[in-house]
Structure 1
Amino acid sequence: MPEVTTEEELADFAEALCLPARPVDGYRALMPDASVLDRYLAVFGDAQFGEYTTRLAERHARAGGRAYLARFARSCGAARPWHTGDVPFAFGNLDAVGADFLIGGAPDEHDRALSRRMLRSWADFAATGDPGRPAVSADTTPVRCWGVPVDHLADDDGSGLRALYGTSGSAC
């Protein structure tokens, strides 16, 4: 991935990804103190993973399927969490070689408690099909937001970011 550090590079990236200007402008408004790099990482992660995963879960639920959503909301220093940052937490290997890179340093007791909560949810889901939170339905999109020191259940991710994507998808 390129290191995007200027507004021009961010605009070029969004264009290459076929994103309309609205989401990129919206991230600037929702993250006024973030660096261009942090906004780029947010746009990239949400456009490639978060938004489309949520849309898939919602469509699956409307078709009669069952889906559960979660967001890994534990920040890495000043930055937002990134793709795969949840893996050491979900598998309980916070002390594995290389995990410090994904979690932004050595884990603390809040991190270890978060990992235990995530492990319990995954184990419950594997054993019973129920991760301990409501499923997405035709009318609601509950999201478990994993964070430190506590998690919360939201009706949606609550950040305002989903509204930036609307229903129009990409510009291409």
Structure 2
Amino acid sequence: MNDAGYTLVEMLVALVLVGLVMTGAATGARVVTQTEARITNGRAVLAGLRGFEREALAGLAGADLADPRLGPVSGDGGRFAFPCGVREQCVWTLVRGEARLRKGGAERVVALRGLAAPGLRYIDGAGASHAAWPADGGVLAAVALVDGERSAAILQVHSAQPASCNFDMATGGCGGTGRP
């Protein structure tokens, strides 16, 4: 460098370095924004699944799925119907990204965000998965909310669903009561 100022080469090198720093900063900001959007979407999906589980378990509370006098248990990929009281039928229906849970005259709607192809699968006592229920003489053990072939939520079903059951995986009963 001489006393008159910077040479053209020095000025170009400085501009290239400033451009590289700015490109790196812009890329970092974009990555942070995309990550934040994915986290926000993931939280919305998780909230929808938790809402579905909460409402579905509330619908199952007190249901006796083994008593044929109360009504049939039936289902397919988009609808599950079961008796939830004397002469009362509960229905879960999947419609356009929503789960509609109807018990008696009340209906709850839960958004199923982030599920591309939501559906229901039925798991029997032997652990086999079925697209429709009733299956060949099996006992319904669980209902799964699926996204394509991937399980999103699995709700365990008891033949006589206790009104308040804190299922204990170790004992296989409700909250240490020993009830199945």
Normalised to the residue count of structure 2, the TM-score between the two structures is 0.26
More strand, by proportion: 2
More helix, by proportion: 1
Rg larger in 1 or in 2?
2
